[in-house]
Amino acid sequence: MADISLAALAAQVFTGLVLGGIFVLLAVGLSLIFGLMTVVNFSHGALYMLGAYFGYLLFKSSGSFTVALVVAPLMVGALGLLIERFLIRRLYGRSPDDPLLLTFGLSLIIVEVARMIWGKIGLTLDPPRAMAGAVNLGFTYFPIYRLFVIAVTIVVLIALWLFLERTNVGLVIRAGSRDPLMVRALGFDVGRIWFLVFGIGSGLAGLAGILAGPMRGAYAEMGVTIIIESFVVVVVGGMGSLVGAVVSGLLIGQIVSLTTFFAPKLAEIIVFIFMAVVLLLRPSGLFGEAGLAE
């Protein structure tokens, strides 16, 4: 008996890792955009949803999940670029509330358009055939596709880290989140960096969407709950801190997953209680600097 429940517990920890991976991808995108531009992108959840739908369509039409996995985030990223270029850019210099309000309106539009195009009933996505089934981890069987999600998350995070730490553009992005005025004074076009970062963040949301698709299906409202949870991840991690977003995403993934196992009724609530506790103990989040962009 003890063995069985231990195996189930281990499986739940892995499930939490997968969920945490999705949280991390969303929160890193949000945090990257916020850290640089002090813009909170409310439409992040809607972009996540579009990632799942685009992935579904691409997978159906090309037959290749790899194509879908690469192209869907690029498409969502491109949409992000358009949003920055034509909408958000108009709001620079205004209150930081305004981009939040704007992207809130935008998310209503995107979700409703998705409903019009793809209907109110969700679509189910099967994982690619090569990744169907489960693998024996020794202590439990675990779906191959979920392991793949963990692997992709890790690879993407490493790539993002290398991009930010090892390339010149990454250096300018990091400098820009420290002191945009100084970066501008040094002759860099800060507007172009913001443009780029908004695209990258949106692309990450799209990637999270296509990855989540085969596990959760695709439906118009899929981004709504998860965007609020991602906000919590970002607040707990410390806004603008990428390390914070990763740690907090994984942590909250585990908390949700284990609560689902032990006390399913609390699963939806626990995230918020955890946030309240963190706020009491560390108001600026686990890795946040006090006073950043407030």
Partner 1 sequence: MSGAVAWIRRHPVVCFFVFFAIFPWLVPYRSLATQVLIYGLFALGFNLLYGYTGLLSFGAAAYWGLGAYGTGIALAKLKVTSLWLALGAGLGLALIGGALFGFFCLRRRGIYFAMLTLAFAQLLYFIGFHLADWTGGDDGLRGITVPPVVLGGWRISLDRSVVFYYFALMLVGLAVLVLKRILDSPFGAVLQAIRENSDRATACGYDIARIKHLSFVFSATFCGLAGALDALRLTVVPIESLHWSTSGQVVIMTLLGGAGTFFGPFVGAAAFLVLEDSISVVTESWPLVIGAIFVVFVLFLPKGIWGTLTGGFHGR
For 81, the token pair is 């670029």
Write the single-letter amino acid at 250: L
| Cα atoms in the 13 Å half-sphere on the side-chain side of 159 | 9
Please name the residues in contact with 128: beta carbons below 8 A apart, sequence gap of 6 or more.
Answer: 59, 65, 145, 214
In the chain, alpha helices (H): 2-37, 44-62, 65-86, 97-118, 144-166, 168-178, 180-185, 190-216, 222-237, 242-262, 267-281
Q: Does 235 bind partner 1 (CB under 8 A)?
A: yes
> What x-and-dash track marks residues 80-109 binding partner 1 by CB under 8 A?
-------x--xx--xxxxx-xxx-xxxxxx
CA torsion 220→111→102→245, rounded to 10°?
20
Q: Which is nearer to partner 1, 122 or 170 (CB)?
A: 122
- Minimum distance of partner 1 from residue 49's CB (angstroms): 14
Between 182 and 293, CB nearer to partner 1: 293
Q: Which is nearer to partner 1, 129 or 265 (CB)?
A: 265
By residue count, the chain amounts to 294
Task: Compute the least distance from the CB of residue 240 to partner 1, in Å.
Answer: 11
Specify the residue, 99 or 203, whose C-beta has the smaller distance to partner 1: 99
Nearer to partner 1, 3 or 86 (CB): 86
Q: Is the Cα torsion angle 134, 136, 142, 147 positive or negative in sign?
A: negative
The footprint of partner 1 on residues 112-171 (CB under 8 A) is: 112-113, 115-116
From the list 151-159, 163-171, 245-253, 268-276, the region that binds partner 1 by CB under 8 A is 268-276
Give the tokens for residue 178.
Answer: 């420290």
Binding-site size for partner 1 (CB under 8 A) equals 45
Shortest separation between residue 57's beta carbon and partner 1, angstroms = 21
Nearest to 173 by CA among 154, 153, 192: 192
Torsion angle of alpha carbons 79, 83, 84, 90, nearest 10°? 160
**Mask for 23-52, x = binds partner 1 (CB under 8 A):** -----------x---x-x------------
Residue among 234, 213, 214, 249 at smallest CA distance from 49: 213
3 state SS of 187: coil
Q: Does 178 sit near partner 1 (CB under 8 A)?
A: no
Decide: is 262 part of the binding site for partner 1 (CB under 8 A).
Answer: no
Query: By C-beta, is 25 or 275 nearer to partner 1?
Result: 275
* Residue 289 in contact with partner 1, rule: CB under 8 A: no
Minimum CB distance to partner 1, residue 293 (Å):
7
| Nearer to partner 1 (CB atom), residue 125 or residue 229 | 229
Report the distance separating Cα 86 and Cα 97, nearest Å: 18
- Of 20 and 213, CB closest to partner 1: 20
Sites of contact with partner 1 (CB under 8 A): 34, 38, 40, 87, 90-91, 94-98, 100-102, 104-109, 111-113, 115-116, 224, 228, 231-232, 234-235, 239, 265, 268-269, 272-273, 275-276, 279-280, 283-284, 293-294
